[in-house]
A = this chain, B = another copy of it.
Amino acid sequence: MSKMQLLHPLEHEDAEAVIIGGMVLDIHASPSIAANPGTTTPGKVYYVQGGVARNVAECMAKLGAKPYMISALGFDMAGNLLLEKWKSFGLSIEGILKDKDIDTPVVCNIFDVNGEVAAGVASVEAIEKYLTPDWISRFKSTLLSAPVLMVDANLSPPSLEASCRLAADAECPVWFEPVSVAKSRRISSIAEYVTFASPNEAELIAMADALLGSDEFRPLKGYDKKNNLSPASLFQLLKPAICLLLEKGIKVVLVTLGSSGVLLCSKGGPSSIQIPVDKTRRRGFGGELYRNVMKRFPPNSFLEHGRSSHFFALHLPAVPASVVRLTGAGDCLVGGTLTSICAGLDIIQSVSVGIAVAKATVEVAANVPSAFSLATIVDDAKCIYSSAKVLFHQSML
**Chain A: residues with CB nearer than 8 A to chain B?**
27, 29-31, 35, 37-45, 47, 76-78, 80-81, 103, 106-110, 116-125
Contact = CB atoms under 8 A, between A and B. Distances in A.
Contact of A108 (B29, B107, B117, B125): B29
Contacts of A42: 121-125
Nearest to A40: B120
Contacts of A117: 38-40
A106 B123 CA distance: 19
B118 A44 contact: no
29 contacts: A27-B27, A27-B45, A27-B108, A29-B120, A30-B121, A35-B120, A37-B118, A38-B117, A39-B117, A39-B120, A40-B109, A40-B121, A41-B120, A42-B125, A43-B121, A43-B122, A44-B103, A44-B121, A44-B123, A45-B103, A45-B106, A47-B77, A77-B77, A77-B78, A80-B80, A108-B110, A110-B110, A110-B121, A119-B119
A182 to B, nearest CB: 10
A110 B40 CA distance: 9
Q: Which among A78, A108, A117, A119 has the greatest number of chain B C-beta atoms within 10 A?
A: A119
Contacts of A125: 42
A27 to B, nearest CB: 6
Contacts of A123: 29, 42-45
A38 B80 contact: no
A118 B41 CA distance: 11
A37 B119 contact: yes
B76 A121 contact: no
Q: Which among A81, A116, A123, A125 has the greatest number of chain B C-beta atoms within 10 A?
A: A123
Contacts of A41: 120-122
A22 to B, nearest CB: 14
For the complex of A and B, 3 pairs with smallest distance between CB atoms = A40-B120, A29-B121, A43-B121
A118 B78 CA distance: 23
Nearest to A82: B77
A157 B39 CA distance: 25
Contact of A122 (B38, B40, B47, B119): B40
B39 A121 contact: no
Contacts of A81: 77
Contacts of A80: 77, 80
B121 A31 contact: yes
Contacts of A47: 76-77
Given A40-B121, A43-B121, A45-B108, 4 more contacts: A40-B122, A42-B121, A45-B106, A108-B108
